[in-house]
Amino acid sequence: MALQLSENALTVLKRRYLTKDEAGKVIETPDEMFKRVAKAIAQGDTLCGKSAQEITSLEESFYRMMTALEFMPNSPCLMNAGKDLGQLSACFVLPIEDSMDSIFESLKVTAMIHKSGGGTGFSFSRLRPKNAVVKTTGGVASGPISFMKVYDAATEAVKQGGTRRGANMGILRVDHPDILEFITCKENNKHITNFNISVAVTNEFMEKLKNGGEYDLIDPHTKKPVERLKASDVFDLIVKQAHKNGEPGIIFIDRMNEFNPTPKLGSYESTNPCGEQILLPYESCDLGSINLLALAKKVGNRYEIDWERLKEVTRLSAHFLDNLIDVNRFPLPAIEKATKQTRKIGLGVMGWASLLIRLNIPYNSEEAVALAEKVMSFILEEATKKSLELGKEKGVFPAFKGSIYDRKDSPLRMRNATLTTIAPTGTISIIAGPCSSGIEPLFAISYYRNVMDNDKLVEVDPLFEEIARERGFYSRQLMEKIADSTSIQAMSEIPEDLRRIFVTAHDISPEWHVRMQAAFQKYVHNATSKTINFPHEAKVEDVRKSYLLAYDLGCKGITIYRDKSREEQVLNVGSVKQKEEPRAQDAKKEIAPRPRPEVIIGTTTKVSTGCGNLYVTINVDEEGKPFELFTQMGKAGGCAGSQLEALGRLVSLAFRAGIEVKAIIEQLRNIRCPSPSWEKGQRIFSCADAIARVVEKRLMNPTGVSNAVEVAASAMKHSHNEDGGAAVASSHHGNIVGVCPDCGGALRHEEGCSKCHACGYSKC
């Protein structure tokens, strides 16, 4: 059967998924894309000694399943499978320990992941609170939220391979001393825009909330209580903020850890950006979704689920996702090791609301909730059978011993530690369309979808149009009327039985939203991505009830969104006033690193370290604000050179993101390496410590940061500064063109080439 794709599917594929040449021209068809993906994933079976004929047969099965639009893997797989990059995972969780090394090492890895198309989740709960004393320096810590801002600025600067915007999840435990600041950190919709945030709520907190009690805030560094808060006050603030703009969400962290299949490896602390994939530090997960609408078959004059084909697709999808782990090219050895230790996969569904319409079942009904449990339990059962088969054939996941499956009476020799996840399916549901996204109800019968930096796709539900034409009430005027409305429930020209099944997100009470999420969650190993939609006029108390209901019904987390509570949203219905362009630009300026001005003035300081002479260049902008930092150590290359370059870039990012200079110094000071040195009577513990001392000397001098421009300009009058470092300026005036990579001196453009008069370096 020929591949049939909607116009919107083709648009998305061309923009994001199909291979392009160096000029950006599409050089791949959708059919070729699916062949590329099927071929790459089938190669995973070579590791267990399958014959070429068996692998070819598996490749054909994967290809047929995808071209029939019955299953779609996550976006990075469609984009990268069979290509040089080969990074196929959708989501990652990275650790953040209470040290500068850990914070910026994870930031570096984050940039790599975002560039390859993945999303990242972090718990900032291990960072000491704001204003806590840093014993090594005598200073005070800047706290988790300040570093969230650094991560946010970095994400803004690094687009995901030109195909996806960076996405992060930031999580803080409810018992962290900075929890109140965290809850309100996104009160302004223009701040920390590349993060979703969630509060990790404990069972103890929920008990205190129920009983009207207080609970302790614990300093993660000292492990000691520092304050007590009334649980209801904190919960009230969470609910108020969520009502205002949808954040923070909540994850029930203890409940998540109740189904931690490998507790000996550690406890869950964070999730991926949308909250549905719970992972240990450095784990990644590959996700995929079964298109339930494609598995509805017509019997007589009605539709029913094709259970036999659903069984086949489920088992084949589990095989696909397991193979994906073996052919994946991970961005870091630690991620590969952690991922292959547990071999977690996340098989989910999409097209749920569309299926219900085909079956003539209202989304907000007992029948729909019961069917949700039946469908998801069936998928989990068949995926488990397949994982057991793969475990017997290829071996169990390496961390099996001591896992929850390692039972003395009857061990379940699973190939995968987790099997099911309900993930968002935004663009892959467009490709597989017409089908609804994930387990969400229809957002509207007709709406605009904003994708790829505010490009718009006009969507009209094809099932509604199909039925309207069949029953003779379709008209252009009616479709336009529907497009300008959030609901068809009051439209008498539409038959009542159709109004009953074509309910939209805002026709459905929050209680039904939560009950549907809970029904799927019963048979999902990980968690369930589901937005609990509220109309604009919803009250704060309505949000409170939903949060409490989600906990009572066994959900692992909850995210709500009240319509029009943010200036910008992905899906718009009705007549929505377009945001004025200047405001959009202002928002970007607030969250992005400051743009580089034409002229930058600075100084270069020479410092003796145990590894050699280090040259540290600090440049400031026209306003005297520190802007960038470069480091160079003689002719250092390899790991040392790359680490120094990375450190310089990240400190520059912190400067440009507005992090206090004092906080940067405190994080870098007194970091120790095996080769300390002495510099003018001072002990230099490491290159990081040396950088901190230069930053302190140049930017925290008695004249103040505001006079840094004058200090630098004065230094420009001399060939060398007091410490023997060459003063440099990067501008378009004169012939100075940059910084010498060998000695840190001024590079000048002479004789058609860049030269350094200090050390004789020549670019030519």
Report the C-alpha gap between 135 and 727 in whole angstroms.
34
Neighbours of 232 (CB within 10 A): 15
Write the Ramachandran bin of 67: left for phi over 0, alpha for psi from -120 to 50, otherwise beta.
alpha
Q: Give the CA distances from residue 535 to residues 45, 283, 509, 560, 624, in Å, rounded to whole numbers and listed in that order.
A: 49, 37, 9, 11, 47
Rounded to 10 degrees, the C-alpha dihedral 83/85/88/93 comes to 180
Active-site option among 105, 276, 382, 459:
276
Report the C-alpha gap between 219 and 227 in whole angstroms.
9
Answer positive or negative: Cα dihedral of 561, 564, 566, 569: positive
Active-site option among 272, 323, 533, 572:
272
Instruction: List the structure tokens of 225.
Output: 């209580």
Residue identified by tokens 């120094």 is: 644
- β partners of residue 726: 720
Residues ≥6 apart with Cβ < 8 Å to 435: 69, 291, 292, 293, 294, 350, 351, 354, 429
| DSSP string covering 264-326 | GG----EE-TTS--EE-TT-EEEEEEEEGGGGEEEETTEEEE-HHHHHHHHHHHHHHHHHHHH
Residues ≥6 apart with Cβ < 8 Å to 392: 413
Residue 754 CA, chain-centre distance (Å), reads 41
Residue 272 appears among annotated catalytic residues: yes
Count the residues in the chain: 764
Specify the 3-state DSSP secondary structure of 164. Answer: strand
Report the C-alpha gap between 424 and 288 in whole angstroms.
10
| DSSP string covering 241-261 | HHHHHS--EEEEHHHHHHT-S
Helix-helix angle 366-394:307-327, to 10 degrees? 50
Q: b/e for 617-635, b at 16 or more Cβ within 10 A? A: bbbbbeebbbbbbbbbbbe
Specify the 3-state DSSP secondary structure of 192. Answer: coil
Rounded to 10 degrees, the C-alpha dihedral 112/114/117/119 comes to 120
Instruction: List the structure tokens of 49.
Output: 């000694």
Residue identified by tokens 């260049």 is: 617
Q: Give helix then strand counts, H and E, for the chain.
A: 25, 30
Active-site option among 91, 274, 435, 756:
274
| DSSP string covering 567-585 | S--SEE-S--PPPPHHHHH
- From the list 512, 531, 529, the residue with the least C-alpha distance to 521 is 529
The answer to whether 160 touches 91, Cβ cutoff 8 Å, is no
Q: Based on C-alpha coordinates, what's the Rg of the chain?
A: 28
The answer to whether 379 touches 451, Cβ cutoff 8 Å, is no
Q: Give the CA distances from residue 406 to residues 287, 396, 417, in Å, rounded to whole numbers and listed in that order.
A: 25, 10, 11
Specify the 3-state DSSP secondary structure of 609. Answer: strand
Amino acid at 26: V
Report the C-alpha gap between 351 and 346 in whole angstroms.
17
Percent of residues in the chain assigned helix, strand, coil, to nearest 5: 40, 20, 40
Report the C-alpha gap between 131 and 151 in whole angstroms.
20
The answer to whether 563 touches 551, Cβ cutoff 8 Å, is no
Burial grade of 496 (CB within 10 A; 0-12, 13-18, 19 or more): exposed
Catalytic residue numbers, as ranges: 272, 274, 276
